[in-house]
Amino acid sequence: MPLIKIGKIPNFANIVNKGVFGNFKSTFPPSTGPAWLSMATGKNPGKTGVFDFLTKKGNEFEIKVLSSFDFRKNNTYWDILNIEGYKTYLLNHPLLYPFYKIDGIMVGGMGTPVNTGFVYPAKLEKKLNDISNGYVTSVDWNLPKYHDKEKFVKDLHIFIEKQFSVIKYLLKDDWNLLMHVSSASDFLQHMMWEDWIDEKSEYHQIFISVFEKLDKKIGEVFEYLKDTNIFIVSDHGFGLLKENFNLSKWLLDKGFLKINPKHKSINSLDSLINLIYNKIENTAFKKLLINEKFNLSFLTKKLNIGYPFPPEVNIFESKVIPGYSSAAYGALHIMDSVKDQKNFKKEIILELKKLEKTYGFKIDVYKREEIYSGEKTNQAPDILFKINDHQCNVQSSSLKGEIFSNNLPFKNKSGSHRSEGIFCAYGPDIKEGKEINVQIYDLAPTILHIFDVPIQNDVDGRVLTEIFKENSEFAKRKPRYTKLTHFHKRTEDEKIKEVIKDLKLKKKF
Protein backbone atom coordinates (compact mmCIF):
# COMPACT_ATOMS: atom_id res chain seq x y z
CA MET A 1 0.00 0.00 0.00
CA PRO A 2 2.17 2.86 -1.30
CA LEU A 3 0.27 5.71 0.38
CA ILE A 4 0.63 4.03 3.78
CA LYS A 5 4.37 3.52 3.23
CA ILE A 6 4.94 7.20 2.53
CA GLY A 7 2.78 8.27 5.49
CA LYS A 8 0.03 10.02 3.54
CA ILE A 9 -2.95 8.19 5.09
CA PRO A 10 -2.20 7.66 8.83
CA ASN A 11 -5.77 6.85 9.90
CA PHE A 12 -6.09 4.14 7.29
CA ALA A 13 -2.64 2.85 8.26
CA ASN A 14 -3.84 2.54 11.85
CA ILE A 15 -6.81 0.42 10.72
CA VAL A 16 -4.54 -1.89 8.72
CA ASN A 17 -1.97 -2.25 11.51
CA LYS A 18 -4.48 -2.80 14.32
CA GLY A 19 -7.10 -4.81 12.47
CA VAL A 20 -7.60 -7.44 9.77
CA PHE A 21 -6.74 -6.61 6.18
CA GLY A 22 -6.29 -8.28 2.80
CA ASN A 23 -7.51 -8.66 -0.77
CA PHE A 24 -11.21 -8.50 -1.55
CA LYS A 25 -11.88 -10.49 -4.73
CA SER A 26 -14.68 -9.02 -6.83
CA THR A 27 -17.07 -10.57 -9.33
CA PHE A 28 -16.12 -11.20 -12.93
CA PRO A 29 -16.38 -8.83 -14.53
CA PRO A 30 -15.46 -6.42 -11.71
CA SER A 31 -18.25 -4.14 -12.86
CA THR A 32 -20.18 -1.77 -10.59
CA GLY A 33 -23.63 -3.35 -11.01
CA PRO A 34 -22.97 -7.06 -10.42
CA ALA A 35 -20.27 -6.33 -7.82
CA TRP A 36 -22.45 -4.22 -5.51
CA LEU A 37 -25.38 -6.59 -5.85
CA SER A 38 -23.21 -9.61 -4.98
CA MET A 39 -21.74 -7.73 -2.03
CA ALA A 40 -25.22 -6.94 -0.72
CA THR A 41 -26.59 -10.49 -1.12
CA GLY A 42 -23.65 -12.89 -0.89
CA LYS A 43 -24.71 -14.42 -4.21
CA ASN A 44 -22.90 -14.70 -7.53
CA PRO A 45 -24.44 -13.17 -10.69
CA GLY A 46 -25.66 -16.60 -11.80
CA LYS A 47 -28.19 -16.36 -8.96
CA THR A 48 -29.00 -12.63 -9.07
CA GLY A 49 -29.25 -12.49 -12.87
CA VAL A 50 -27.25 -9.25 -13.09
CA PHE A 51 -24.12 -9.56 -15.23
CA ASP A 52 -23.94 -6.00 -16.55
CA PHE A 53 -26.28 -3.64 -18.39
CA LEU A 54 -27.24 -5.90 -21.30
CA THR A 55 -28.98 -9.26 -21.15
CA LYS A 56 -30.01 -11.71 -23.86
CA LYS A 57 -33.20 -13.75 -23.93
CA GLY A 58 -33.33 -15.98 -26.99
CA ASN A 59 -32.65 -13.75 -29.99
CA GLU A 60 -33.92 -10.66 -28.17
CA PHE A 61 -31.79 -8.22 -26.24
CA GLU A 62 -32.78 -6.04 -23.33
CA ILE A 63 -31.13 -3.02 -21.80
CA LYS A 64 -31.06 -3.78 -18.09
CA VAL A 65 -30.85 -0.76 -15.84
CA LEU A 66 -29.83 -1.96 -12.40
CA SER A 67 -32.10 -0.49 -9.74
CA SER A 68 -33.35 -1.03 -6.21
CA PHE A 69 -35.74 -3.69 -7.56
CA ASP A 70 -32.75 -5.98 -8.22
CA PHE A 71 -31.53 -5.50 -4.66
CA ARG A 72 -34.93 -6.04 -3.04
CA LYS A 73 -35.79 -9.26 -4.86
CA ASN A 74 -32.43 -10.85 -4.01
CA ASN A 75 -32.63 -10.38 -0.22
CA THR A 76 -29.94 -7.89 0.78
CA TYR A 77 -28.42 -8.03 4.24
CA TRP A 78 -30.02 -4.69 5.17
CA ASP A 79 -33.52 -5.86 4.21
CA ILE A 80 -33.02 -9.05 6.21
CA LEU A 81 -31.79 -7.03 9.19
CA ASN A 82 -34.84 -4.77 8.88
CA ILE A 83 -37.16 -7.75 9.04
CA GLU A 84 -35.32 -8.96 12.13
CA GLY A 85 -35.87 -5.61 13.85
CA TYR A 86 -32.60 -3.78 13.17
CA LYS A 87 -32.41 -0.22 11.86
CA THR A 88 -30.17 0.29 8.81
CA TYR A 89 -28.71 3.49 7.33
CA LEU A 90 -27.51 3.32 3.72
CA LEU A 91 -25.61 6.41 2.58
CA ASN A 92 -24.60 6.91 -1.06
CA HIS A 93 -25.02 3.26 -2.06
CA PRO A 94 -24.76 3.05 -5.90
CA LEU A 95 -27.77 2.17 -8.04
CA LEU A 96 -30.19 1.93 -5.11
CA TYR A 97 -32.92 3.93 -6.81
CA PRO A 98 -35.89 4.29 -6.67
CA PHE A 99 -35.85 4.44 -2.89
CA TYR A 100 -38.19 2.18 -0.98
CA LYS A 101 -39.51 2.06 2.53
CA ILE A 102 -37.04 0.70 5.04
CA ASP A 103 -36.58 0.92 8.78
CA GLY A 104 -33.83 3.48 8.52
CA ILE A 105 -32.52 5.92 5.92
CA MET A 106 -31.43 5.77 2.28
CA VAL A 107 -29.31 8.60 0.89
CA GLY A 108 -28.84 8.38 -2.88
CA GLY A 109 -25.51 7.77 -4.54
CA MET A 110 -24.35 7.10 -8.09
CA GLY A 111 -27.36 6.39 -10.31
CA THR A 112 -29.75 8.69 -8.44
CA PRO A 113 -31.45 10.86 -11.11
CA VAL A 114 -30.71 14.58 -11.16
CA ASN A 115 -33.49 16.94 -10.07
CA THR A 116 -35.20 14.33 -7.94
CA GLY A 117 -35.31 13.58 -4.23
CA PHE A 118 -32.06 12.16 -2.89
CA VAL A 119 -33.14 10.70 0.45
CA TYR A 120 -35.71 8.41 2.07
CA PRO A 121 -37.61 9.49 4.07
CA ALA A 122 -38.12 12.62 1.95
CA LYS A 123 -38.72 14.81 5.01
CA LEU A 124 -34.96 14.66 5.70
CA GLU A 125 -34.01 16.32 2.43
CA LYS A 126 -34.16 19.94 3.59
CA LYS A 127 -32.18 19.18 6.75
CA LEU A 128 -29.43 17.33 4.87
CA ASN A 129 -29.26 20.07 2.24
CA ASP A 130 -28.88 22.67 4.96
CA ILE A 131 -26.17 20.71 6.76
CA SER A 132 -24.15 20.13 3.57
CA ASN A 133 -24.92 23.46 1.89
CA GLY A 134 -26.53 21.60 -1.00
CA TYR A 135 -26.01 17.83 -1.06
CA VAL A 136 -24.33 16.15 -4.06
CA THR A 137 -24.82 12.44 -4.86
CA SER A 138 -22.14 12.11 -7.55
CA VAL A 139 -19.48 13.87 -9.64
CA ASP A 140 -19.75 13.16 -13.37
CA TRP A 141 -16.09 12.93 -14.33
CA ASN A 142 -17.04 12.52 -18.01
CA LEU A 143 -18.16 16.15 -18.32
CA PRO A 144 -16.06 18.35 -20.66
CA LYS A 145 -15.43 20.87 -17.88
CA TYR A 146 -13.34 18.24 -16.11
CA HIS A 147 -10.72 18.31 -18.82
CA ASP A 148 -9.40 20.79 -16.27
CA LYS A 149 -8.08 18.29 -13.74
CA GLU A 150 -7.56 20.88 -11.03
CA LYS A 151 -11.24 21.83 -11.31
CA PHE A 152 -12.16 18.15 -11.11
CA VAL A 153 -10.12 17.51 -7.94
CA LYS A 154 -11.42 20.71 -6.36
CA ASP A 155 -14.99 19.50 -6.92
CA LEU A 156 -14.08 16.09 -5.47
CA HIS A 157 -12.90 17.80 -2.28
CA ILE A 158 -16.20 19.70 -2.07
CA PHE A 159 -18.08 16.45 -2.75
CA ILE A 160 -16.27 14.71 0.12
CA GLU A 161 -16.92 17.61 2.52
CA LYS A 162 -20.64 17.59 1.76
CA GLN A 163 -20.97 13.83 2.17
CA PHE A 164 -19.07 13.59 5.43
CA SER A 165 -20.96 16.52 6.94
CA VAL A 166 -24.12 14.41 6.49
CA ILE A 167 -22.42 11.27 7.81
CA LYS A 168 -21.34 13.00 11.02
CA TYR A 169 -24.86 14.32 11.52
CA LEU A 170 -26.51 10.91 11.02
CA LEU A 171 -23.94 9.07 13.16
CA LYS A 172 -25.58 10.66 16.21
CA ASP A 173 -28.87 8.84 15.44
CA ASP A 174 -30.02 5.54 16.91
CA TRP A 175 -29.03 2.97 14.26
CA ASN A 176 -27.75 -0.61 14.24
CA LEU A 177 -25.94 -0.73 10.89
CA LEU A 178 -24.62 2.24 8.95
CA MET A 179 -23.07 1.90 5.51
CA HIS A 180 -21.44 4.74 3.59
CA VAL A 181 -20.03 4.49 0.07
CA SER A 182 -17.42 7.07 -0.87
CA SER A 183 -17.28 7.15 -4.68
CA ALA A 184 -14.74 9.97 -4.87
CA SER A 185 -11.81 7.55 -5.07
CA ASP A 186 -13.52 5.65 -7.91
CA PHE A 187 -14.10 8.80 -9.97
CA LEU A 188 -10.53 9.95 -9.30
CA GLN A 189 -8.85 6.70 -10.32
CA HIS A 190 -10.90 6.32 -13.50
CA MET A 191 -9.89 9.75 -14.71
CA MET A 192 -6.40 10.27 -13.27
CA TRP A 193 -4.69 6.91 -12.86
CA GLU A 194 -1.95 8.00 -15.23
CA ASP A 195 -1.20 10.90 -12.86
CA TRP A 196 -0.87 8.50 -9.94
CA ILE A 197 1.64 6.16 -11.58
CA ASP A 198 3.67 9.04 -13.05
CA GLU A 199 5.34 10.74 -10.09
CA LYS A 200 6.57 13.50 -12.42
CA SER A 201 3.02 14.40 -13.47
CA GLU A 202 2.02 17.95 -12.53
CA TYR A 203 -1.19 16.42 -11.12
CA HIS A 204 0.44 13.66 -9.05
CA GLN A 205 0.18 15.52 -5.74
CA ILE A 206 -3.40 16.68 -6.26
CA PHE A 207 -4.32 13.05 -7.00
CA ILE A 208 -2.87 12.10 -3.59
CA SER A 209 -4.70 15.01 -1.95
CA VAL A 210 -8.05 13.28 -2.47
CA PHE A 211 -6.89 10.23 -0.48
CA GLU A 212 -5.45 12.51 2.18
CA LYS A 213 -8.84 14.21 2.42
CA LEU A 214 -10.65 10.87 2.71
CA ASP A 215 -8.19 9.70 5.35
CA LYS A 216 -8.74 12.85 7.40
CA LYS A 217 -12.51 12.37 7.24
CA ILE A 218 -12.18 8.73 8.27
CA GLY A 219 -10.27 9.91 11.34
CA GLU A 220 -13.02 12.40 12.21
CA VAL A 221 -15.75 9.76 11.82
CA PHE A 222 -13.87 7.27 13.99
CA GLU A 223 -14.22 9.64 16.95
CA TYR A 224 -17.93 8.70 16.92
CA LEU A 225 -17.28 4.96 16.53
CA LYS A 226 -14.80 3.96 19.21
CA ASP A 227 -16.86 0.97 20.42
CA THR A 228 -18.06 -0.11 16.97
CA ASN A 229 -16.88 -2.89 14.68
CA ILE A 230 -16.03 -1.42 11.28
CA PHE A 231 -15.43 -2.87 7.80
CA ILE A 232 -13.78 -0.95 4.97
CA VAL A 233 -14.13 -2.64 1.58
CA SER A 234 -14.01 -1.79 -2.12
CA ASP A 235 -16.17 -3.44 -4.77
CA HIS A 236 -13.13 -3.71 -7.07
CA GLY A 237 -9.55 -2.57 -7.47
CA PHE A 238 -7.94 -0.29 -10.05
CA GLY A 239 -5.17 -0.27 -12.63
CA LEU A 240 -3.94 1.37 -15.82
CA LEU A 241 -6.10 1.50 -18.95
CA LYS A 242 -4.07 2.24 -22.08
CA GLU A 243 -4.96 -0.09 -24.99
CA ASN A 244 -8.00 -0.80 -27.14
CA PHE A 245 -9.38 -3.93 -28.79
CA ASN A 246 -12.21 -3.37 -31.27
CA LEU A 247 -14.28 -6.48 -30.69
CA SER A 248 -17.04 -5.64 -33.19
CA LYS A 249 -14.56 -5.05 -36.01
CA TRP A 250 -12.76 -8.32 -35.22
CA LEU A 251 -16.05 -10.23 -35.22
CA LEU A 252 -16.94 -8.67 -38.58
CA ASP A 253 -13.59 -9.61 -40.09
CA LYS A 254 -13.98 -13.20 -38.86
CA GLY A 255 -17.46 -13.44 -40.39
CA PHE A 256 -19.21 -13.88 -37.03
CA LEU A 257 -20.94 -10.51 -37.25
CA LYS A 258 -23.13 -9.45 -40.19
CA ILE A 259 -24.16 -5.98 -41.27
CA ASN A 260 -27.28 -4.82 -43.05
CA PRO A 261 -26.52 -4.10 -46.74
CA LYS A 262 -28.55 -0.92 -46.38
CA HIS A 263 -26.62 0.15 -43.29
CA LYS A 264 -25.95 3.64 -44.65
CA SER A 265 -29.64 4.47 -44.73
CA ILE A 266 -30.07 2.92 -41.31
CA ASN A 267 -27.24 5.08 -39.98
CA SER A 268 -28.92 8.18 -41.35
CA LEU A 269 -32.25 7.22 -39.84
CA ASP A 270 -30.50 6.29 -36.61
CA SER A 271 -29.01 9.79 -36.40
CA LEU A 272 -32.40 11.32 -37.08
CA ILE A 273 -34.12 9.21 -34.41
CA ASN A 274 -31.41 10.07 -31.89
CA LEU A 275 -31.91 13.76 -32.66
CA ILE A 276 -35.65 13.34 -32.11
CA TYR A 277 -35.00 11.38 -28.91
CA ASN A 278 -32.93 14.23 -27.47
CA LYS A 279 -35.81 16.60 -28.14
CA ILE A 280 -38.50 14.44 -26.55
CA GLU A 281 -36.44 12.90 -23.72
CA ASN A 282 -38.36 14.69 -20.98
CA THR A 283 -41.80 14.29 -22.56
CA ALA A 284 -44.45 11.57 -22.71
CA PHE A 285 -43.34 10.76 -26.28
CA LYS A 286 -40.23 9.14 -24.82
CA LYS A 287 -42.22 5.90 -24.52
CA LEU A 288 -42.05 5.55 -28.30
CA LEU A 289 -38.38 4.70 -27.88
CA ILE A 290 -37.99 3.24 -24.39
CA ASN A 291 -40.87 1.99 -22.29
CA GLU A 292 -41.34 2.22 -18.56
CA LYS A 293 -39.71 -1.17 -17.92
CA PHE A 294 -36.48 -0.02 -19.57
CA ASN A 295 -36.90 -2.62 -22.33
CA LEU A 296 -36.12 -1.62 -25.88
CA SER A 297 -39.35 -0.90 -27.76
CA PHE A 298 -40.15 -2.30 -31.22
CA LEU A 299 -38.92 0.89 -32.90
CA THR A 300 -35.67 0.84 -30.96
CA LYS A 301 -35.04 -2.84 -31.74
CA LYS A 302 -35.67 -2.25 -35.42
CA LEU A 303 -32.99 0.45 -35.55
CA ASN A 304 -30.54 -0.97 -32.98
CA ILE A 305 -30.72 2.28 -31.00
CA GLY A 306 -29.49 1.78 -27.47
CA TYR A 307 -27.48 -1.34 -28.23
CA PRO A 308 -23.79 -1.37 -27.31
CA PHE A 309 -22.85 -2.43 -30.85
CA PRO A 310 -22.95 -0.47 -34.14
CA PRO A 311 -26.39 0.31 -35.61
CA GLU A 312 -25.46 -1.27 -38.95
CA VAL A 313 -25.19 -4.72 -37.32
CA ASN A 314 -27.85 -7.16 -38.45
CA ILE A 315 -28.76 -8.92 -35.22
CA PHE A 316 -30.72 -11.76 -36.78
CA GLU A 317 -28.11 -12.78 -39.37
CA SER A 318 -25.14 -12.54 -37.03
CA LYS A 319 -23.79 -15.60 -35.26
CA VAL A 320 -22.40 -13.63 -32.33
CA ILE A 321 -23.33 -10.33 -30.71
CA PRO A 322 -20.85 -8.47 -28.47
CA GLY A 323 -22.04 -7.77 -24.95
CA TYR A 324 -21.85 -4.50 -23.09
CA SER A 325 -18.34 -3.73 -21.82
CA SER A 326 -18.49 -1.47 -18.77
CA ALA A 327 -15.34 -2.62 -16.97
CA ALA A 328 -12.71 -3.23 -19.70
CA TYR A 329 -13.70 -6.82 -20.44
CA GLY A 330 -15.17 -8.68 -23.40
CA ALA A 331 -18.47 -10.53 -23.62
CA LEU A 332 -20.00 -12.55 -26.43
CA HIS A 333 -23.56 -13.79 -26.87
CA ILE A 334 -23.95 -16.70 -29.30
CA MET A 335 -27.21 -16.39 -31.19
CA ASP A 336 -29.77 -19.18 -30.93
CA SER A 337 -29.73 -19.61 -34.72
CA VAL A 338 -26.28 -21.25 -34.46
CA LYS A 339 -26.99 -24.98 -34.69
CA ASP A 340 -23.89 -26.58 -33.14
CA GLN A 341 -23.44 -24.27 -30.15
CA LYS A 342 -20.86 -26.42 -28.39
CA ASN A 343 -18.39 -26.65 -31.27
CA PHE A 344 -19.01 -23.07 -32.34
CA LYS A 345 -18.10 -21.90 -28.85
CA LYS A 346 -14.84 -23.88 -29.07
CA GLU A 347 -14.12 -22.25 -32.43
CA ILE A 348 -14.54 -18.73 -31.07
CA ILE A 349 -12.41 -19.44 -27.99
CA LEU A 350 -9.67 -20.86 -30.23
CA GLU A 351 -9.80 -17.75 -32.45
CA LEU A 352 -9.62 -15.47 -29.40
CA LYS A 353 -6.56 -17.31 -28.06
CA LYS A 354 -4.81 -16.86 -31.44
CA LEU A 355 -4.92 -13.12 -30.81
CA GLU A 356 -2.14 -13.51 -28.24
CA LYS A 357 0.32 -14.39 -30.98
CA THR A 358 -1.11 -11.87 -33.46
CA TYR A 359 -0.97 -8.84 -31.16
CA GLY A 360 1.35 -9.91 -28.37
CA PHE A 361 -1.09 -9.51 -25.49
CA LYS A 362 -2.35 -11.86 -22.77
CA ILE A 363 -5.98 -12.90 -23.06
CA ASP A 364 -7.92 -14.90 -20.48
CA VAL A 365 -11.08 -16.51 -21.89
CA TYR A 366 -13.90 -18.09 -19.86
CA LYS A 367 -17.11 -19.94 -20.57
CA ARG A 368 -19.98 -18.60 -18.48
CA GLU A 369 -20.40 -21.90 -16.64
CA GLU A 370 -16.77 -21.63 -15.47
CA ILE A 371 -17.55 -18.36 -13.69
CA TYR A 372 -21.20 -18.49 -12.62
CA SER A 373 -23.54 -20.94 -10.95
CA GLY A 374 -27.27 -20.77 -10.42
CA GLU A 375 -30.53 -20.90 -12.32
CA LYS A 376 -29.88 -17.58 -14.12
CA THR A 377 -26.46 -18.51 -15.48
CA ASN A 378 -27.97 -19.09 -18.94
CA GLN A 379 -28.76 -15.36 -19.14
CA ALA A 380 -25.04 -14.49 -18.99
CA PRO A 381 -22.84 -13.98 -22.06
CA ASP A 382 -21.68 -17.34 -23.44
CA ILE A 383 -18.03 -16.25 -23.45
CA LEU A 384 -16.23 -13.64 -21.35
CA PHE A 385 -12.64 -12.48 -21.57
CA LYS A 386 -10.11 -9.91 -20.40
CA ILE A 387 -6.97 -8.65 -22.13
CA ASN A 388 -3.80 -7.82 -20.19
CA ASP A 389 -5.73 -8.05 -16.91
CA HIS A 390 -8.24 -5.33 -17.90
CA GLN A 391 -5.48 -2.97 -19.07
CA CYS A 392 -7.02 -3.16 -22.55
CA ASN A 393 -10.40 -1.60 -23.21
CA VAL A 394 -12.78 -3.82 -25.18
CA GLN A 395 -14.77 -1.72 -27.63
CA SER A 396 -17.99 -2.92 -29.24
CA SER A 397 -19.74 0.29 -30.30
CA SER A 398 -17.90 0.99 -33.55
CA LEU A 399 -16.53 -0.69 -36.67
CA LYS A 400 -13.99 2.08 -37.28
CA GLY A 401 -10.29 2.12 -36.48
CA GLU A 402 -7.76 -0.63 -35.86
CA ILE A 403 -8.63 -3.98 -34.32
CA PHE A 404 -5.92 -3.49 -31.68
CA SER A 405 -4.29 -0.22 -30.74
CA ASN A 406 -2.06 1.16 -28.00
CA ASN A 407 -4.25 4.26 -27.95
CA LEU A 408 -7.67 4.65 -26.36
CA PRO A 409 -10.64 5.90 -28.45
CA PHE A 410 -11.68 8.34 -25.69
CA LYS A 411 -10.21 10.95 -23.36
CA ASN A 412 -10.61 11.66 -19.65
CA LYS A 413 -10.07 8.05 -18.62
CA SER A 414 -6.82 6.27 -17.80
CA GLY A 415 -7.91 3.82 -15.09
CA SER A 416 -10.01 0.68 -15.21
CA HIS A 417 -11.37 -1.82 -12.70
CA ARG A 418 -9.40 -4.79 -11.41
CA SER A 419 -10.61 -7.93 -9.66
CA GLU A 420 -8.70 -7.41 -6.40
CA GLY A 421 -10.12 -4.75 -4.08
CA ILE A 422 -9.37 -4.16 -0.40
CA PHE A 423 -10.83 -5.54 2.82
CA CYS A 424 -10.22 -4.14 6.31
CA ALA A 425 -11.92 -4.93 9.61
CA TYR A 426 -11.30 -3.01 12.82
CA GLY A 427 -12.95 -2.79 16.21
CA PRO A 428 -13.33 -4.19 19.73
CA ASP A 429 -14.16 -7.71 18.50
CA ILE A 430 -11.65 -7.83 15.62
CA LYS A 431 -8.19 -9.44 15.75
CA GLU A 432 -5.08 -7.31 15.31
CA GLY A 433 -2.50 -7.57 12.54
CA LYS A 434 -4.09 -10.48 10.68
CA GLU A 435 -3.90 -10.76 6.88
CA ILE A 436 -6.70 -12.48 5.00
CA ASN A 437 -8.03 -13.16 1.49
CA VAL A 438 -11.77 -12.50 1.12
CA GLN A 439 -14.37 -12.83 -1.62
CA ILE A 440 -17.01 -10.20 -2.26
CA TYR A 441 -19.67 -12.83 -1.45
CA ASP A 442 -18.37 -13.16 2.13
CA LEU A 443 -19.48 -9.74 3.34
CA ALA A 444 -23.26 -10.27 3.56
CA PRO A 445 -23.16 -13.58 5.52
CA THR A 446 -20.53 -12.16 7.88
CA ILE A 447 -22.68 -9.11 8.64
CA LEU A 448 -25.74 -11.28 9.29
CA HIS A 449 -23.67 -13.48 11.61
CA ILE A 450 -22.60 -10.43 13.63
CA PHE A 451 -26.27 -9.70 14.30
CA ASP A 452 -27.05 -13.39 14.95
CA VAL A 453 -29.49 -13.48 12.04
CA PRO A 454 -30.05 -16.64 9.93
CA ILE A 455 -28.21 -16.71 6.59
CA GLN A 456 -29.80 -18.04 3.41
CA ASN A 457 -28.26 -21.37 2.58
CA ASP A 458 -27.90 -20.51 -1.11
CA VAL A 459 -25.30 -17.77 -0.55
CA ASP A 460 -21.92 -18.28 -2.18
CA GLY A 461 -19.97 -16.57 0.59
CA ARG A 462 -18.92 -17.74 4.02
CA VAL A 463 -18.82 -16.20 7.48
CA LEU A 464 -15.34 -14.84 8.18
CA THR A 465 -15.13 -16.31 11.65
CA GLU A 466 -11.31 -16.08 11.65
CA ILE A 467 -11.39 -12.27 11.84
CA PHE A 468 -12.94 -12.25 15.33
CA LYS A 469 -11.05 -12.39 18.63
CA GLU A 470 -11.30 -15.86 20.19
CA ASN A 471 -13.14 -14.62 23.29
CA SER A 472 -15.65 -12.55 21.32
CA GLU A 473 -19.32 -13.46 21.05
CA PHE A 474 -19.00 -13.71 17.25
CA ALA A 475 -16.16 -16.22 17.37
CA LYS A 476 -17.91 -18.45 19.91
CA ARG A 477 -21.26 -18.44 18.13
CA LYS A 478 -21.85 -20.78 15.18
CA PRO A 479 -23.37 -19.30 12.01
CA ARG A 480 -27.05 -20.08 11.53
CA TYR A 481 -28.55 -20.91 8.12
CA THR A 482 -32.09 -21.08 6.80
CA LYS A 483 -33.68 -22.72 3.77
CA LEU A 484 -36.09 -19.86 3.26
CA THR A 485 -35.62 -18.05 -0.05
CA HIS A 486 -37.70 -15.05 0.95
CA PHE A 487 -37.69 -13.85 4.51
CA HIS A 488 -41.05 -13.59 6.24
CA LYS A 489 -42.54 -10.60 7.99
CA ARG A 490 -42.40 -10.93 11.74
CA THR A 491 -45.41 -11.55 13.96
CA GLU A 492 -46.10 -9.20 16.89
CA ASP A 493 -44.60 -11.73 19.33
CA GLU A 494 -41.45 -11.92 17.24
CA LYS A 495 -41.23 -8.13 17.13
CA ILE A 496 -41.43 -7.92 20.93
CA LYS A 497 -38.72 -10.56 21.31
CA GLU A 498 -36.48 -8.65 18.91
CA VAL A 499 -36.98 -5.39 20.81
CA ILE A 500 -35.91 -7.16 24.03
CA LYS A 501 -32.96 -8.72 22.22
CA ASP A 502 -31.95 -5.34 20.79
CA LEU A 503 -32.09 -3.70 24.21
CA LYS A 504 -29.82 -6.41 25.58
CA LEU A 505 -27.24 -6.31 22.84
CA LYS A 506 -27.55 -2.76 21.48
CA LYS A 507 -25.16 -3.66 18.70
CA LYS A 508 -23.79 -1.17 16.25
CA PHE A 509 -21.84 -1.98 13.10
Residue 506 falls in which region: left (phi positive, over 0), alpha (psi -120 to 50) or beta: left
CA distance 168 to 180: 11
Q: For the segment 123-179, what is each residue's pLDDT rounded down to a tens digit?
A: 999 999 999 999 999 998 888 888 899 999 999 999 999 999 999 999 999 999 999
Vertex 275, ends 271 and 280: CA angle to 5°? 145
Shared domain for 268 and 327, answered yes or no, is yes
Q: How many residues does the structure list for the chain?
A: 509
Buried b / exposed e over 192-221, threshold 16 CB at 10 Å, is bbbbbeeeeeebbebbbbbbebbbebbeeb
Residue 299 pLDDT > 60: no
Q: For the segment 402-461, what is each residue's pLDDT rounded down to a tens digit?
A: 999 999 988 889 999 999 999 999 999 999 999 999 999 999 999 999 999 999 999 999
CB atoms inside a 10 Å sphere around CB 433: 10
Shared domain for 139 and 227, answered yes or no, is yes
- State residue 300 phi and psi, 5-degree precision: -65, -45
Shared domain for 8 and 116, answered yes or no, is yes
Shared domain for 359 and 396, answered yes or no, is yes
Shared domain for 398 and 299, answered yes or no, is yes
CA distance 365 to 349: 7
CA distance 420 to 408: 23
CA distance 264 to 258: 14
**Mean pLDDT value of segment 235-245:** 96
Percent of the chain past pLDDT 70, that is, above it, reads: 83
CA distance 257 to 316: 10
Domain boundary among 415, 435, 457: 415
CA distance 262 to 67: 37
Shared domain for 187 and 256, answered yes or no, is no
Its domain, for residue 310, covers 243-415
Shared domain for 90 and 193, answered yes or no, is yes
Beta bridge partners of 321: 333
Q: Packing angle between helix 443-450 and helix 32-41, nearest 10 degrees?
A: 30
Domain boundary among 357, 388, 415: 415
Shared domain for 235 and 282, answered yes or no, is no
* Of 36, 506, 502, 21, residue with least CA distance to 231: 21
Shared domain for 166 and 256, answered yes or no, is no
**CATH number, domain with residue 7:** 3.40.720.10
Residue 264 pLDDT > 90: no
Least confidently predicted of 7-21, 77-91, 110-124, 294-308: 294-308
Domain count, the chain: 2
Q: DSSP class of residue 176?
A: S
Residue 265 pLDDT > 80: no
Shared domain for 410 and 442, answered yes or no, is no
Shared domain for 322 and 206, answered yes or no, is no
Q: For the segment 43-74, what is each residue's pLDDT rounded down to a tens digit?
A: 999 999 999 865 555 556 666 678 899 999 99
pLDDT at residue 88, rounded to an integer:
97
Shared domain for 424 and 463, answered yes or no, is yes
CA distance 235 to 38: 9
